[in-house]
Amino acid sequence: MSARIIDGKAVAARLRARVAEQAAQFAHDHGRPPGLATIMVGDDPASAVYVAGKHKASGEAGIASFDHRLPADASREDVVALIERLNGDPEVSGMIVQLPVPAHLDGVELTGLVDADKDVDGLTALSAGRLALGLPGLRPCTPSGVMDLLAEAEADLTGAEAVVIGRSNLFGKPMAQMLLAANATVTVCHSRTRDLPATCRRADVLVAAVGRAEMVKADWVKPGAVVVDVGMNRLAGGLVGDVAFAEVSAVAAAITPVPGGVGPMTIAGLLRNTVEAARLQEARR
Ligand code: NAP
């Protein structure tokens, strides 16, 4: 068997085109576009690249972007004051505190101060709680993107065994919640899981988000499974995922590549959340 490749680039491009239409409609209806604000403290080069990517993508989707930079020695009070100002700014529909922040600041605490209705990363306790309770709210972008890719692969989630490797707040936990909400039977694995290969072999849908290059081998995968590779591992030869792509492709029914699978969905999901946040805020006015 040779797995169908789930083309994340194409799915993300379609999502971005749809978001651009919705942003234009919003601007037409309200006389201003949806807006995304980023806060970056310090000058971490990787963060600078990510932030620049978010602003470029926003511009292409017709979303206004506001780029706030604070020096590496900015005080907690300075950052808190900026977050509070942006929480109250009607031009700002969504806000991101770019992580990591310098060591004297607490990234989790600062992220938690973002108004949940502007929390386009979906990382505040309120957003996580809304997801867990099945209430409307902004969802984390990467697991939402995985749900889009599973839909693209026409994976039948109802009653399926879904195994997620990784239990981070950023990805693994919200991913498990979303699969559960879609009626899958969900198992979450982590570094203490006793027999990871055997647990993975049960999966009709296997999602790997570990950060270990090519850890998931062909004999961990049930024939005909749908495999989603969230891992991004930069090796000398380039970017590779957490799944041994070539050998697993011979067993799985469908698989996401790295690059070109989950990665492009994250920014597309951020744009979707920004427009969604703008609409929700207008509806509440
Ligand atoms: P993380 O916070 O480091 O979490 C990694 C998880 O993997 C933890 O739950 C850890 O278990 C588990 N783990 C580590 N070694 C393991 C092992 N040998 N066996 C089983 N589980 C193991 O990472 P993350 O933020 O969730 O990200 C995971 C990967 O996804 C990274 O490669 C990251 O770059 C990628 N990612 C990609 C995107 C994207 O846009 N494509 C977005 C987010 C993340 P413990 O909890 O027990 O430590």
Quick: pLDDT tens for 37-56: 999 999 999 999 999 999 99
Residue 56: active-site member: no
Question: Annotated catalytic residue: which of 22, 54, 115, 173?
Answer: 54
If you count them, how many residues does the chain have? 285
Mean pLDDT (the chain, rounded): 97
| Residue 164: φ, ψ to 5° | -110, 125
How far apart are the CA of 168 and the centre of ligand 1, in A? 6
CA of 165 to the centre of ligand 1 (A): 8
Q: Are 214 and 193 in contact (CB under 8 A)?
A: no
Q: Find out whether the beta carbon of 172 lies less than 6 Å from any atom of ligand 1.
A: yes
Residue of 54, 142, 164, 168 to mutate, ligand 1, most atoms within 8 A of C-beta? 168
Residue closest to 200 by CA, chosen among 217, 184, 214, 183 = 217
Tokens, residue 70: 């604070």
Predicted pLDDT at 190 = 98
Question: Is the separation of the CB atoms in 65 and 37 below 8 Å?
Answer: yes
Say yes or no: CB of residue 266 within 6 Å of ligand 1: yes
CA nearest ligand 1 atom 13, residue: 191
Give the pLDDT of residue 239.
96
- Has this prediction a pTM greater than 0.95? yes
Start-to-end C-alpha separation, the chain: 54
Continuous segment of H or E residues that includes residue 189: strand 185-189
Q: Is 115 a catalytic residue?
A: no
* Alpha carbon distance 127, 138 (integer Å): 6
Ligand 1 contact, 127 CB (< 6 A): no
Q: What pLDDT is stored for residue 285 in this prediction?
A: 80
Kindly state the average pLDDT of the residues 117-140: 97
Identity of the amino acid at 170:
L
Q: What span, in angstroms and rounded, lies between the C-alpha atoms of 241 and 243?
A: 5
The protein residue with its alpha carbon nearest to ligand 1, atom 31, reads 211
Asked if the model's pLDDT at residue 72 lies above 70, the reply is yes
Q: How far is the CA of 167 from the centre of ligand 1 (A)?
A: 7
pLDDT at 122: 97
175 Cα to the center of ligand 1, angstroms: 12
Does the annotation count 121 as an active-site position? yes
Q: What is the pLDDT of residues 9-38, one digit of tens each?
A: 999 999 999 999 999 999 999 999 999 999
Name the percent of the chain lying above pLDDT 90.
99
**What number is the average pLDDT over the span 94-113?**
97
Q: Is 171 in the pocket of ligand 1 (CB under 6 A)?
A: yes
Over range 62-67, report the average pLDDT.
98
- pLDDT at 116 (0 to 100): 97
Average pLDDT over residues 190-212: 98
Q: Is 8 a pocket residue for ligand 1 (Cβ < 6 Å)? A: no
User: Binning pLDDT at 50, 70 and 90, where does residue 1 land?
Assistant: low
- What is the tens place of the pLDDT at every residue in 241-280? 999 999 999 999 999 999 999 999 999 999 999 999 999 9
What is the per-residue pLDDT across 150-186, written as a single tens digit (0 to 9) for each?
999 999 999 999 999 999 999 999 999 999 999 999 9
Rounded CA separation 129/203 (Å): 26
Residue 210, ligand 1, Cβ within 6 A: yes
- Structural domains in the chain plus CATH codes: 31-127 (3.40.50.10860), 140-263 (3.40.50.720)
For residue 224, pLDDT beyond 70:
yes
Reading the block at residue 83, the tokens are 């977050």
Token readout for 182 is 């879609």
Q: Which ranges of the chain does DSSP label H, i.e. alpha helix?
A: 8-30, 45-60, 76-87, 107-111, 125-133, 141-152, 172-181, 196-201, 245-249, 263-284
Q: Tell whether the model's pLDDT for residue 145 goes beyond 80.
A: yes
Angle at 75 between CA 70 and CA 78, to 5 degrees: 65
The finding on whether 192 has its CB within 6 A of some atom of ligand 1 is: yes
Under DSSP, the state recorded for 197 is H
The answer to whether 69 and 61 have CB atoms below 8 angstroms apart is no
Residue 284: predicted pLDDT = 83
Q: Which residue has the tokens 């020695």?
A: 73
